[in-house]
Amino acid sequence: GDSVTQMEGPVTLSEEAFLTINCTYTATGYPSLFWYVQYPGEGLQLLLKATKADDKGSNKGFEATYRKETTSFHLEKGSVQVSDSAVYFCALSDQNTGGFKTIFGAGTRLFVKA
Q: Which spans of this chain sit near other proteins (rule: CB under 8 A)?
A: 29-32, 34, 36, 38, 41-46, 49, 51, 87, 89, 93-95, 98-102, 104, 106-107, 109
Cα 58 to its chain centre, rounded Å, is 11
Smallest gap from residue 31 Cβ to other proteins (A): 7
Smallest gap from residue 68 Cβ to other proteins (A): 15
108, burial (CB in 10 Å: exposed 0-12, middle 13-18, buried 19+) = buried
Cβ distance to other proteins smaller for residue 81 or 95: 95
Spell out the residues 6+ positions from residue 43 whose beta carbon is closer than 8 angstroms to its own.
Answer: none
Cβ distance to other proteins smaller for residue 11 or 87: 87
Query: Beta 32-38 vs 86-93: how paired, if at all?
Result: antiparallel
Query: Beta 108-113 vs 86-93: how paired, if at all?
Result: antiparallel
Smallest gap from residue 79 Cβ to other proteins (A): 25
Cβ distance to other proteins smaller for residue 17 or 44: 44
Cβ distance to other proteins smaller for residue 25 or 34: 34
SS3 state at 83? helix
Smallest gap from residue 54 Cβ to other proteins (A): 17
